Amino acid sequence: MKHTLPCALDWRRWLVLTTVVTVFTTIASAQSSKPPVLISETTSTRAIAFESVSFKREPFSLGSLFATDGRTRVMLFALNINLGPNEDLSVFTADAETATHEHRALRVEYVAPVPGLQWLSAVTLRLNDDLPTSGDVLVSLTLRGVKSNRVRVGIGRWSARRRWSNSNAGSSLSTFWPRH
């Protein structure tokens, strides 16, 4: 049985072409497998987050007058978000962990690079009815099965002590909730 090379290329050119394609595929795969990184304040795990319409900072209420469904949308910022040409929001999931360590799925409604800062992406999440009405949740983002770091997002009201305490630099929920 005789084997022919594609497009009548000699074997050297075919080898170079397949090597180049393999290298670029490997590089693209390695870049896309980096975990997403949600951006937080430099001194804590508190998310850089805004209400997506008014751009107000946390704490966020679960309800919003701006949305037809009455739910608040929160915009977070992330690194390492590289979507393929045929990919959509279905490659993302988001999760919020409550103070009682319950996990609640959050709907990812929008992901796009920030204009002028292509390395940074804006991620809009819809806050669900089943989240607590006050306190912090730890939010993470998963892209193609690769999970991000977790960042704190405040829901409801805070006391001044809680908001500005240095204890929110810890990574466990117990270090953030003040003991009464």
93 pLDDT above the threshold of 90: yes
174 pLDDT above the threshold of 60: no
Whether the upstream peptide bond of residue 35 has omega within 30° of 0, thus cis, is no
Please state the rounded mean pLDDT for residues 16-45: 66
- What is the enclosing helix (H) or strand (E) of 61? none
- The Cα–Cα gap between 81 and 122 comes to 9
91 pLDDT above the threshold of 60: yes
8-state DSSP, 39: -
Residue 30, pLDDT score = 47
pTM of structure: 0.68
| Cβ pair 76, 47 in contact under 8 A | yes
pLDDT tier, 10 (very low <50, low <70, confident <90, very high otherwise)? low
pLDDT by residue (tens digit) across 137-166?
999 999 999 999 999 998 886 544 444 333
Amino acid at 123: V
Domain 35-175 CATH assignment equals 1.10.10.10: no
Residue 6, pLDDT score = 53
Residue 157, pLDDT score = 64
Residue 32, pLDDT score = 54
The highest-confidence range among 34-48, 62-76, 127-141, by mean pLDDT, is 34-48
What is the chain's mean pLDDT, rounded? Answer: 75
